[in-house]
Structure 1
């Protein structure tokens, strides 16, 4: 049997693939029903359910379609008992460089994200030298 961190890493691959391809079918395999999407950047906190978040993903042009290089990584996985974990991850879409704090729980359907809290910084792409 695979160890817990390996199972979570497999979910994170689906998560990163879902973001890169703007694919809510993949993301739906990672998020638990009732999960929250919370942005902590800027003045007012954005707190959405999946029924509000997934349409945003569906409308966005996928980074893959723009030929963006993949820029995603798991920074850490911290276990809290046998059924909860916190994953810190980095990824980038366009000029937004995200730090994701992903709370995972072990459900009957496997490890799922129950809350995504994130911050992003705007980092412009390097300009060509003249």
Structure 2
């Protein structure tokens, strides 16, 4: 399913489609910036896309890991970025679902730093700007397939 099909499918939710088309583009642009921040380890860019009250959470390691934004950004700053390691740039935006004109949920997939991630991102439009309020994610270890 391509991006246009996803957008069309999500807009069939009964909400007014015309205003949300512009919102879809705004959210997709924010998600591009989110991934760019992750890929390059750009914490200033990440600070711009996350709401100051954002939560970062996973239980993929077997226990709950939950950080606020001030706890999460230093983790990104300390690690080697995927860009510095020469990893391929790219993510898959699976869907953006709008619950209303100021609430959206995005699902993204990416592979970086030896892990395959699925991010569920809750977004709010506050003061006219979309921001990520919650990043809840799962990861699996990316085991390279060897050809014999």
Q: Same fold (TM over 0.5)?
A: yes
TM-score, length-scaled by structure 1: 0.93
Q: Which runs of 5+ in 2 are unaligned?
A: 1-18
- Residue in 2 that maps onto 1:59: 78
1:41: which partner in 2? 60
118-127 or 14-23: which moved more?
A: 118-127
TM (norm. structure 2) is: 0.82
The answer to whether the Cα contact below 8 Å between 1:40 and 1:117 also exists between their aligned partners in 2 is: no
Output one character per residue of 1:89-111: Cα deviation in whole Å (capped at 9) or x when no partner.
01111220000000000011500
2:89 is paired with a residue whose SS is: coil
Which residue, 138, 141, 145 being the options, matches 1:119?
138
Partners of 2:62 and 2:53 in 1: CA distance: 25
1:42 partner SS: coil
1:17-64 deviation digits (Å, cap 9, x = unpaired):
001001111111110011000012132111100111000000010111
Distance 1:125 1:23 in 2: 27
Aligned partners of 1:71, 1:97: CA distance in 2, in Å? 12
The structure with the larger Rg is 2
Name the structure 1 match of 2:106.
87
Q: How does 1:6-25 map to 2 (within 5 A)?
A: 6-25=25-44
- Higher normalized helix content (fraction of residues): 2
5+ long unaligned stretches in structure 1? none
Aligned CA-pair RMSD: 1.6
Q: What stretches of structure 1 move > 3 A for 4+ residues in a row?
A: 126-129
